[in-house]
Copies of this chain bind each other. A is one copy, B any other.
Amino acid sequence: MEGLPLRGDVFDPDCPTRVVLDRIGDKWTVLVVSVLSTGTLRFTELRARVGGVAPKVLTQTLRALERDGILIRTIYAQVPPRVEYQLTDLGRSLAQPIAAIQDWAEGHVGSVLAARNSYDSSVA
Taking the complex as formed, is A41 at the interface, i.e. its CB lies under 8 A from any CB of chain B? no
A11 contacts B100, CB within 8 Å? no
CA A113 to CA B23, docked complex, whole Å: 12
- Interchain CB contact (< 8 A) of A11 among B22, B49, B117: B49
B residues in contact with A37, CB < 8 Å: none
B residues in contact with A27, CB < 8 Å: 21-22, 25
Give the oligomeric copy count: 2
Q: In the complex, which range does the number of interface residues on chain A fall in?
A: 35 or more
B104 contacts A93, CB within 8 Å? yes
B100 contacts A97, CB within 8 Å? yes
Since A2-B117, A25-B25 are in contact, a sample of 18 more A-B pairs with Cβ atoms closer than 8 Å, ordered by chain A residue number, is: A2-B110, A2-B118, A10-B31, A10-B34, A15-B109, A16-B109, A19-B109, A21-B102, A21-B105, A24-B25, A25-B27, A67-B116, A69-B114, A90-B111, A93-B104, A96-B100, A98-B101, A101-B101
Pairs across A and B, CB under 8 Å, 30 listed: A2-B110, A2-B114, A2-B118, A3-B111, A4-B110, A7-B106, A8-B105, A8-B109, A9-B106, A10-B30, A10-B34, A10-B102, A13-B52, A17-B106, A17-B109, A20-B104, A20-B112, A21-B101, A21-B105, A23-B112, A24-B25, A24-B105, A67-B119, A68-B115, A69-B112, A69-B118, A90-B111, A96-B100, A98-B101, A101-B101
